[in-house]
Chain A
Amino acid sequence: MKPAPFDYVGATSIDDAVAQLASGDATVIAGGQTLMPLLALRMSMPLTVVDINRVADLRGVSVSDQGVRIGAMTRQADLLTDAALAGALPPLVTAVRHVGHHQTRNRGTIGGSLVFAEPAAEMPATAVALGATLELRSAGGTRNVAAETFYLGPYMTDIVPDELLVAVTFPAWPRHARTVFREVAQRPGDFALVGLVGAVEIEGGAIARAGLAWFGMGPTPMRARQAESALVGRAPGDIRASEIAELAIADTDPFDDVHATAEYRREVGRRVFAQALTAALAQEGQA
């Protein structure tokens, strides 16, 4: 478990990193929580590893009326201690708390998790659920891609080899939006067998907006579009969570693996969706 030889380049700026990526078979290293094991297993054998840890412009959280912009190199642990973020986007903070372990979150970054595209991971589904946009930079310029179209399959995204994820931008959600979150994992910190993340906004006694996505329930984060549509316009008291859960399950495509069958994932997903939705609608907040 020793990596194959590679050249190491410590990027000093975004432009520098992008220029390095343009020069050939290169891989970006951020927190290294995924890449290091892949290098050690020789499942990844890049010619060049471009280290973006010292690029200050890739770090930080900025909260404005328009939403939240988070630099790709921002550590997961830092997202848990950012007071402005905690007020602006509670579903994201809840989801980050479930990413790996305390120790891995000290190194792991939001950008690394978003680009790795593990289908059972929390961050990609959170980006899809909350309507985030990914800002990709290459020598040719900047490209903004909606999270929902970014994920193509397990570990496969729309990013091309010479592009660098610079930041993720979440649209504004009102402070009283309710968090919907549930993760079923065999051990704390494991990837989910079944996961659900999102937000529900209630205005004037009815649901004005809903953003919900599954993780671990298909080859990519699976947006629960039918469930979202069914929720909008309904008063919380008129909602039968089990019916919405059926619609949400209809938008999943889970698989069998050594840990659980697809049928288990659907069965549990149906139950935990209804529970999480009911809990969210019962949260204190302005109606």
Chain B
Amino acid sequence: MNAPGGIGAARYIGERMPRKEDGRLLTGRGTYVDDVVVPGMLHVAFARSPMARGRIVSIDTTMAKAMPGVHAVLTEADLARIPVTLLSFFMMPMEVETTLLARDRVAYVGDPVALIVATDRYLAEDAAGAVMVEYDEETPVVTIADARAAPPIHPDAASNVAATMGEDEPNPDLERALRGAAHVVERTLTHQRISQSPMETRGVVSAPQGDEELTLYITCQSPSVIARSVALSLGMPDLSIRVIAKDVGGSFGLKNTPWREELAVIAASLILQRPLKWIEDRLENLISANQAREQEMTLRIGFDAEGKLVASHCDYGINNGAYPQGADANVAVHAFLWAAYKMPAYGFLTRGWYTNTVGLAAYRGPWAMESYGREVLLDIAAREMGIDPIEIRRKNLVTRADQPCMTAFGMPLEDITPADCLEKLLRHFDVGAFRAEQAEARKAGRYLGLGFAVYIEPTGTAGSMPVMTGETVSVRIEPNGKVQAMLGTHSQGHGTATTMAQVIAEELGVRYEDVNVFEGDSSRGGYGPGAAGSRQGVIGGGAAVKAASLLRDKVKQVAAHVLNASPDAVTLERGTIRVAGAEEMTRSLREIAEIAYGEPARLPHGVGTGLEVTYRYDPPPVTFTSAAHAAIVEVDGDTGFVKIKRWISSEDCGVMINPAVVEGQIAGGLAQAIGTVLLEEFHYDERGNPTTATYKDYLLPTIFDVPDFEYVHANTPSQAAGGFRGVGEGGAIIGPPTLVNAIADALAPFGEIPLDLPLTPAKLLAVITGKPLSPQHHAAHPAAAAGDAAAPAPTPDDPGIAAVLAGVEPERIDPPTAAGAAVDGTWKLVMATPMGPQEMTARFATDGTTLMGALESPEGSQEFAGTAEGPNLRWEMKVTKPMPVTLKYDLTVTGDTLAGKCKMGMFGSAKVSGERA
């Protein structure tokens, strides 16, 4: 930041430099994990649980092991040869026993049960389908409400409470303050479950070189964190681990630490001493990669008669799934809920809950629920009290004049600027003109709405939590004058190769084009958490500033000595060294670098050769970013669809390194916010079956759903080196309340909108029409066993993923051989449907190869006709409810038992078993 502004001074910080990585990435020359090929590499697929909860009775891998190309089929008993401890992001062991593969029970649909190693992924998946697992299914615990009521799902846990903080009993002082408030609002808000959905799914190539060395190519957020975590998990202190992740296709919190599948592949590779590749496919990513959010919050806020905050209380829950990446009560929600506001008293009870769903991981702004709850309730309160939504914020925000001060949670604030961001936003935007337009539109039956939200966000955290450390930057000027920088920052697509090069080029005084940034390898740079917690600009950028300026000092020292000039007279700009008032002494950086490396005798006394600096930067404990956003929407009164007409961001991310990168970060977070509010929901039915297991049903926002955003850069330098503040997560935090407030404003003439995300068209049209068009919570799919023949009842949108996972297709492997037993008589059948087992009674009567019969279920009886060729029984029957579907039974009788399957149209097959009644 202190580069002398002489003629020719190159300013790179603050410029929209084209990204160094774009040409390579946009032409398909990136290197992601799946691009890595190691000699001798084999491929992994997993056999996974088709049910949410059950006891494993037996696992038979005989058939799978005998299949072509299969090298190994490993269960937890096999992997247990290497004891592995799963660790959270904070390097802490799990609170409940978490094994790599399911050992004696499965706890969610997609729980890995066996690991198959084959010569290619096709053959591995063939064999995965042939792993025979017998389960004793149990009733799953799916929702937070289920978890509150049910006995613990984990045998080693006392209850389903995974983590808790706060006050179990009401705090009398707080309750008194709330009772005494002139106005109190209280609402319950729910946030749906979100899949992080990185474009690059999880994946690993684990390549052991004997017992001493292990090279891991793994998509992750920090190679050095992965190296540390894997070493600790394996308990192999002597193993030398190098982690490489050159390019990463997004993580969003999912890839902070290696999880069950990645560690299972690593353990298997060590056991087999073969390089193994596992690339998570999209179905696996949607059902078995950890997910995020799924929270519920009951928030109470008390105000005085003027609309000033008096007190607040929050009762909060978050679904942790079966095996969270660290049991989590989401306490950060409470730390930041009122941090930007003058809130005299705050109390909370916060709990995380275990359920039979896939585990909880981080997602961009893991505490974002605080902004959603606070900003939406502030608008509701303003409406109820007849105060303008801008005024209620002006009355209560912490201003520059209020600081330094402490938050209600006990955090010191020195330089937050939310109120400034709001005022700068309002200068960019004519609220009065909008209100006039809105009034006119309402007369014409068009529903426009304006929403605001304001927040602060902790970024660049270091020193307060053991894993949140500083960052190291190593910079060297090579003898040819080119600059090589080795960083612990790690681009997930952020463009850190560009932004860090901008910082280094400006601070050092070289051309941007001459700086190469190397990251994505634990053997380079230094230890640091990489892409986590909006920290790379603040800490990596600060380290780059410091390292480059120290190196610049050495260049000047060497140049001054060589040129016999005063160091104060020497400048370095764009790679050219000049001495003030002595044009003839101008030298290229290359000339000086060659001397620095090759001619020790020409260096000042006591100065070593080379031009290189390594600096480890420890920033202030936390650097706050502030922002205010506004959105204008139109809600279609006939369909409940939301059209975003305008969206303005006014953020203070300190000194901007590259405005295009800043805006890209904000836009990406806002796109995810739009998905959160309008489209995305990872949904389980009441049996714990995921019903949104493909992108046909899990709706991500597309380019059509995301508007062009407008940006007001309301920047004030931070106290960190370089003055940077983090900007990675903010859009995903402030976006949801901004959009929800705009929708609520649009529909205010009809009443209050629901606060359970996502706000689907059905929920909003219900507000407009006053008709119940949408259940408060999604109903499970129509009950199985409706219809005459106990048909399973997948809907067209339910691809029957559990059936796919169950996926064993005996017809494609070995047709069961059976004695020509008589089939006539009464049989008890059980069909394993995606909704659970269905019991039926079948009566068979054969005449030669003709089969006649009837199938009875609690719902009724239906006759059928088919064929009986020896022990093989085949028939078809049509059912009409709840969906017309043709069921094709194909069963084989063996003595007094029978087994086979029922094909259900496009919905896959269900296994059928039975015995003579």
Contact = CB atoms under 8 A, between A and B. Distances in A.
Interface stretch (B248-256, B306-314, B521-529, B773-781): B773-781
B761 A260 contact: yes
A193 B760 CA distance: 12
Contacts of B568: none
Contact of A41 (B761, B804, B812): B804
A164 B699 CA distance: 34
A161 B884 CA distance: 19
A182 to B, nearest CB: 10
Nearest to A25: B811
A154 B800 CA distance: 14
A157 to B, nearest CB: 11
B775 to A, nearest CB: 7
Interface in B735-786: 760-762, 765-766, 769, 771-775, 778-779, 781-782
A45 B796 contact: no
A275 B779 CA distance: 31
A115 to B, nearest CB: 12
Contact of B799 (A43, A156, A187, A256): A43
Interface centre among B699, B761, B774, B906 (most CB of A within 10 A): B906
Interface string A69-99: 0000000000000000000000000000000
Interface stretch (A131-139, A236-244, A262-270): A262-270
Contacts of B641: 184
A258 B797 contact: yes
A261 B797 contact: no
Interface in B794-812: 795-800, 804, 807, 809, 812
Interface string A184-197: 10111111010000
Nearest to A260: B762
A263 B779 contact: no
B154 to A, nearest CB: 28
Interface stretch (B118-126, B435-443, B622-630): B118-126
Contacts of B905: 153-156
B873 to A, nearest CB: 19
A156 B884 contact: yes
Given A257-B795, A261-B773, A152 B884 contact: yes
B697 A42 contact: no
B796 A120 contact: yes
Interface string B86-121: 000000000000000000000000000000000001
B699 A186 contact: yes
A137 to B, nearest CB: 22
A154 B883 contact: yes
B683 A258 contact: yes
Contacts of A255: 782, 795-796, 882-883
B774 A264 contact: yes
A5 B122 contact: yes
A258 B699 CA distance: 11
Contact of B679 (A119, A155, A187, A272): A187
B778 A119 contact: no
A56 interface: no
B129 A42 contact: yes
Interface centre among A41, A153, A258 (most CB of B within 10 A): A258
Interface string A1-36: 111110000000000000000000000000000000
Given A153-B885, A187-B679, A259 B760 contact: yes
Q: How many B residues touch the partner, as a band?
A: 35 or more
A100 to B, nearest CB: 11
B858 to A, nearest CB: 22
Contacts of A190: 699
A148 interface: no
A209 interface: no
Nearest to A117: B906
Given A186-B679, A187-B679, A260-B761, A41 B799 contact: yes
B122 A3 contact: yes
A141 B129 CA distance: 39
A267 B699 CA distance: 23
Nearest to B637: A271
A255 B795 CA distance: 9
B283 interface: yes
Nearest to B124: A2
B663 interface: no
A38 B125 CA distance: 15
B771 A5 contact: no
B797 A259 contact: yes
27 contacts: A4-B126, A41-B799, A41-B804, A42-B809, A43-B906, A45-B812, A153-B885, A153-B905, A154-B906, A186-B678, A186-B679, A186-B699, A187-B704, A188-B702, A188-B704, A219-B796, A255-B882, A257-B781, A257-B795, A257-B797, A259-B699, A259-B762, A264-B766, A267-B769, A267-B771, A268-B638, A271-B639
Given A4-B125, A187-B705, A263-B772, 11 more contacts: A1-B125, A5-B122, A153-B885, A154-B906, A156-B906, A219-B884, A257-B781, A260-B762, A261-B762, A261-B773, A261-B774
Interface of B: 121-122, 125-126, 129, 281-283, 638-641, 678-679, 681, 683, 691-692, 694, 696-697, 699, 701-702, 704-705, 760-762, 765-766, 769, 771-775, 778-779, 781-782, 795-800, 804, 807, 809, 812, 882-886, 905-906, 908
Interface of A: 1-5, 37-38, 41-43, 45, 118-120, 152-156, 184, 186-191, 193, 219, 255-261, 263-264, 267-268, 271-272, 275
